[in-house]
Structure 1
């Protein structure tokens, strides 16, 4: 399809090339390397609109780059015999062409390790009162921090893991992080002080973030876009189920064997899955596989000029700098990234505040044992499943309707019919949970409240993440990284004041304060639904990356 008006086929080729690079880069977990003149935040705006908007910028060669780069690049590639590529579209060494049995075997072991690491975030929560007694700790701050510090590791780990995977491939990163996760979890089991336990929980979170950071990229390596849904569903069950199933099993285990056995069982399961992954896992990252092929051919032929077609002409130091600096620049200077990340971070912080305090609330208020208290987390899990089913169905339906009309834009990922009900469910759940526990209403009612909370939390996360991907396609990986870092920091910090908050204000007003904060955040996605495009395309708000 050609663009209307004066822009002809070469411009369409530029758009197609850019869209392809953007898609591949995001799927592989990094930003697209596109000339600065085309890599602006208004990537979803037609090029005929985007080019004039840059007229006053330093990138005055926008049109020349757009028109000439594709043909020049194609001609150079065709004339360069030293570029190493796959041996045709059916090359069996290309992960996209692997047999289904090999692909799904890889997905199975990936899903297993992706379940274990989120499980570790809350598996330990019901055993915290035992830890406090064993170490003689009375600080509410430490009681919460020993659980939430794991999530802080989820914020720090990806900053190292993501660029390392670009340099050395996915397989080595998976295996090294799996081994480190087992080692750090064992260290948690043998800890002899609260400080030692907190330190190794942080390190375990850093190592455990690997499958969450690059797992989606592995799936993109193996399957074309139209066949990824099933694999993505299986893989995403781990982050969804882990934090909910963890306390259910951990509660009974802590009651029967003590809190140390929670870590021993986690390390045993993680160790078994790590061995399984090391045995069945294979490298899937195309740039790494082609680099290995080029190295082999250089050795066999003696031609030292051979290099991978996908090789990045970027020094390792620059990869690290971009991975760390670009998300932070977007978080600080882009109003869309900042406010959307803050919206999700507040929701995420309240979620982990709930995870770290619910054990104390139900043990003290309702007399639950350390085993049965883990069952109270089921309400939140049920709510998340309901939210996922409703949101997934309605969001796809809305986008398909807009596609049929040819009017799709990123802001359609934020329909009021989804963002407002989802946003309202969150404070409703908090108010219901807070005041029913405060008044001692039957325990099933506050658990129903946590189900509403689960619906609202899942809705916020899914709508914002899909919007950020569509709105910042060129720099989608950095936008999501900024979102992840801020929400993980909030997830680690919010629980620190949870117990003290409830001791000071009571469960009713303490939770109401959180509910009012959540209520105040509801206008954020609604605002960007109507004004997001204007902000995205305004040169004043575009970050120089």
Structure 2
């Protein structure tokens, strides 16, 4: 109790102020705790909402500010629009390699080169496809997602025009390198966009959709390339890529908003730089969403780090032991899948006597399998993550987690991959022995369906985990999976003919299935020890 001296008005005013301040502080703390508790209870239920509390420099929550802002101003429908739009750019990245396969014989004839020399144009594409994102994608973390996608797309368009007009093989190889350098980083940048507009609870499904739409080009590219090449010639393939990517680039310029959270926060902050501007914000319906929630603007944790170190971050991520384990696993599965898709054309032509059109049609099951796998794995990832998060919160509430036990992201993201890994190993094994011994084509096509179905999930899961672990440099971290998978695919595809000559088709894919089993073991090791290794190092 505070005693009042009624003869002194100053004492009365002071006492009232103290009482008011005390009540305000109590109400403020009570409201903050209620909001915090409510958020913890609904964190795994509401996928489109993530609270933002202003933090002190030391990382503690400032209880003087308890306002909650939406994680993003974009509705679920508009999120899907953004994902599909950026995935269309990724599609042109994934389709560029397989769409060229049916044209190889005609390229040999045009330039008068051997088969081995012609295959160099495939290998160099894989090499630059792996290296380029690790060098270029970090610029998206520095200057924004939108300008990075537009610049990459323009470079890709120019390279395709150069290839179509090339009059010698050396010049074609030169533009082929620029083609990969331009478009390959787009997939990693798309992962950055997904990370910006989603929360951990629903990120898996969106990344699965993004990866599926992008990589569907790898499964259907040969069909499209065969149809165009047989009708209009191999140069028309690259005119098709230029026109298609050009239309996508125009759509991206008009409708793709900047999402980098250090630039626009949750999307409500207008971008100050012209390169991040999107004409879509001129529409009255969109303009009213620019509420300028400055509190959602994230500060770059690496603000004082040199630009060179920022650009080299993908390489520093790869060498971490818990990261290299699942990167190897995802890459070896992707390499086996690439070998399967690469070998289909020659094997169906030599063993089954199929025409270019029939061979192209035979790529459809793998394309459908890839899309189905991306959707299924994305949904399962979200369901499994929510289940793990719910169990963690229940254990934390009951005191079973101990004092400082962290939520295990490795288990939540990689825990169900053994199912897809098992399907993949069996599918690749069946594919190798059935197509090698000329069994009924239906068995071969079913195996390609399930092989593609199971190959998308490791890439989606690994990308999602990298985004969760390195939110401050999403595009850079996502490019590390692109680097490892493409370089490994380049190595194995380059040696595919030699391996088949020595081991046979069945022996080749038996060996690769064995490596996939080792990869699954690495996934399991990461599920058990990944979080421990990371926590111990930090």
CA distance in 1, matches of 2:273, 2:229: 52
Aligned to 2:15: none
Answer with 178-187 or 120-129: which moved more: 120-129
CA distance in 2, matches of 1:105, 1:329: 33
CA distance in 2, matches of 1:499, 1:524: 28
Deviation at 1:143, TM superposition (A): 4.0
Deviation at 1:199, TM superposition (A): 2.6
- Corresponding residue SS for 2:438: coil
- 1:328 matched to 2:342: no
Equivalences for residues 135-534 of structure 1 within 5 A: 135-140=111-116, 142-219=117-194, 221=196, 235-288=210-263, 293=272, 318-324=306-312, 326-332=313-319, 334-406=320-392, 409-413=408-412, 418-470=416-468, 479-534=477-532
Deviation at 1:203, TM superposition (A): 1.3
Deviations 1:506-530 (A, max 9, x none): 2222222222222333211122223
CA distance in 2, matches of 1:225, 1:419: 18
Contact 1:121 1:148 in 2 (8 A): no
Deviation at 1:70, TM superposition (A): 3.8
Equivalent of 1:125 in 101, 114, 137: 101
CA distance in 2, matches of 1:311, 1:468: 20
Contact 1:95 1:284 in 2 (8 A): no
In structure 2, the gaps of 5 or more residues are: 1-28, 37-54, 275-295, 396-406
Contact 2:211 2:460 in 1 (8 A): no
In the alignment of these two chains, the number of paired residues is 454
CA distance in 1, matches of 2:114, 2:440: 29
Q: Structure 1 residues 108, 329: CA separation in 2 closer, same or farther (over 3 Å shift)?
A: closer
Deviation at 1:365, TM superposition (A): 1.2
Larger radius of gyration: 2
Tell me how large the CA RMSD over aligned residues is. 4.1
CA distance in 1, matches of 2:350, 2:500: 12
- 1:134 matched to 2:110: yes
- Corresponding residue SS for 1:368: coil
Deviations 1:322-369 (A, max 9, x none): 231x3323323x221122211112112222222322211111111111
CA distance in 1, matches of 2:477, 2:165: 38
- Corresponding residue SS for 1:371: helix
Deviation at 1:221, TM superposition (A): 4.9
CA distance in 1, matches of 2:475, 2:327: 14
Aligned to 1:38: none
Q: Structure 1 residues 175, 89: CA separation in 2 closer, same or farther (over 3 Å shift)?
A: farther
CA distance in 2, matches of 1:283, 1:229: 21
Deviations 1:416-443 (A, max 9, x none): 6x33332222232222111112211122
In structure 1, the gaps of 5 or more residues are: 1-8, 17-65, 78-87, 296-307
Deviations 1:294-329 (A, max 9, x none): 99xxxxxxxxxxxx97565967981332231x3323
Deviations 1:124-143 (A, max 9, x none): 12222221232222243x44
CA distance in 2, matches of 1:489, 1:479: 16
User: Structure 1 length as normaliser, TM-score?
Assistant: 0.71
Q: Structure 1 residues 468, 270: CA separation in 2 closer, same or farther (over 3 Å shift)?
A: closer
Q: Structure 1 residues 293, 533: CA separation in 2 closer, same or farther (over 3 Å shift)?
A: closer
Deviation at 1:374, TM superposition (A): 1.8
- Corresponding residue SS for 1:521: helix
